[in-house]
Structure 1
Amino acid sequence: MTSVQGTAVDITTADGVADAYLAHPADGLPHPAVLLYQDAFGLRPHLKSMADRLAGAGYTVLVPNVFYRNGRTPVFDLPEFIDPSERPQIWEQVAPVMQSLTPDLAMRDAGTYLQWLADSPLTADGPVALAGYCMGARLALFTAGTYPDRVAAAAGFHGGRLATDAPDSPHLVAKDVTAELYFGHADQDGSMPPEQQQLLEETLTAAGVRHRCEVYPGAHHGYTQADTAAYDKEADERHWAALLDLLSRTFPAS
């Protein structure tokens, strides 16, 4: 595993300043870029550790606070171990903020994050990869369809509402996607039921998108997040294998 350097960075957007975490190999050389999209609980130590692990595998990883309009990190007052069943009031903090980040706002920001990565001396030339968790899986799919020339691969894990009948459902961008996609659905996830899984699969196939959608049996929404009650070690390890496989195929020289 490569030694890693992690730093806090600020990114000026059209609507303010997004604080972010940047992790990269400590050699100071340019490496393929990964834009990592947070789950609903936001940028916190566990997500930084995930970015560090990817950086140790040879990537330059940016994790923006996508909720920056609501304040700098930490946006929410969270316990070290997040169990919404014991503290349901967490959702009273999180839900309104999550809902305020519309696809239009998120994609305006995404263009800024992608440009920031393109301008960084720590990133290799060429398109980036995306990794998204929970709501971040939605953002990853939207970004792949909105900026197809900038995204070579995108992976989403325990994403919810990826293929609904809403006019702004993420699956509707499939026609514009040129990246290879991977989705790891949680088996026990009411926000991504079998009918949505099927619609996403059919839509990606019809659009000719290179993709693989897999169901992780027994896993719950949030299975990759070790600081939450939803964590599933076996599913998490499967997620790492799938993500690193996608990245190694996308950036074979890294």
Structure 2
Amino acid sequence: MPAKMLQIPTTDGHADAFAAFPDHGERHPGVLMYADGLGLRPVLREMARELAGHGYYVLVPNLFYRHGQAPVIELPEFIGEEARPAVFAELMPLIEAHTAERVLRDADAYLQFLTAQPEVSAGPVAVTGYCIGGLLAMRTAAAHPGQVAAVAGFHGPVGADGADRRSLLSTLTAQVHLGHAETDLTPEALGELNQALDAAGVDYTSEIYPGTIHGFTMSDTDAFNPAALQRHWDRLLPLLDRTLGNSYS
């Protein structure tokens, strides 16, 4: 499985990024993958390789490149309950500094770079994200309705409430899957979100993954749930295959 580190030119510098893609010479549909708040690290590289094995060129940028190359802060190999407070004390200022304006500027750069890669086929792309990356994925898809055909977000926020949510969803043309943790969303809040998606005419699936807590896809944390990670693949891969026309086998 070919993989490499790249530098993506942006309006604010260069974002380091990881890319994985199939080891055949053909071109493949592109997928922009946004990391969770813990950033680009080995578990994200593993997930990118897994997805690339199904016939996609997967690009995972360092969201916090303005503060240094990944890993921007020192992370333990396993991020358990004891390590979490100190880790997020360092990360929260970076997350808070990543404003919506920065997100959209970066998204423009990431998509332009992704679609220019010689291994990426012409046509629409997909965007997926985890935790805060789910919100970034939704904002990216909404800002690029003619280019992003599918968007998926897992255990993360998917947009503000009220008018901000309606504004976000109003331009969304991509097919959507949202996989929520039980601890992130009540059934009532899920109903409100799904009503907003219905009102906006979005083609979507949105569900709470049973028995999960926030971060359930990440195997380097104590939130990891193997069954939920598999459910995530079972939802994500068919979505990408049907929207991007992937014929890879």
TM (norm. structure 1) is 0.93
Work out whether residues 188 and 218 of structure 1, in 8 Å CA contact, stay in contact via their aligned partners in 2. Answer: no
Q: CA deviation at 1:86?
A: 4.1
Amino acid at match of 1:147: H
1-side partners of 2:90 and 2:24: how far apart?
40
Partner of 2:173: 178
Partner of 1:104: 101
Partner of 1:49: 46
Partner of 1:199: 192
Partner of 2:149: 152
Structure 1 gaps of 5+ residues are none
Partner of 2:19: 22
2-side partners of 1:129 and 1:44: how far apart?
21
Change (3 A) 1:93 1:123: same
Q: CA deviation at 1:172?
A: 3.1
Partner of 2:29: 32
Amino acid at match of 2:64: F
2-side partners of 1:237 and 1:118: how far apart?
28
Equivalences for residues 71-150 of structure 1 within 5 A = 71-150=68-147
2-side partners of 1:39 and 1:100: how far apart?
15
2-side partners of 1:36 and 1:194: how far apart?
27
Work out whether residues 34 and 60 of structure 1, in 8 Å CA contact, stay in contact via their aligned partners in 2. Answer: yes
Q: How many residues align structurally?
A: 247
Superposed CA RMSD in Å reads: 1.5
TM (norm. structure 2) is 0.95
The reply on whether 1:246 has 2:242 as its aligned counterpart is no
The reply on whether 1:231 has 2:228 as its aligned counterpart is no
Q: SS of the residue aligned with 2:101?
A: helix
Q: 2:201 aligns with which of 188, 208, 211?
A: 208
1-side partners of 2:25 and 2:110: how far apart?
20
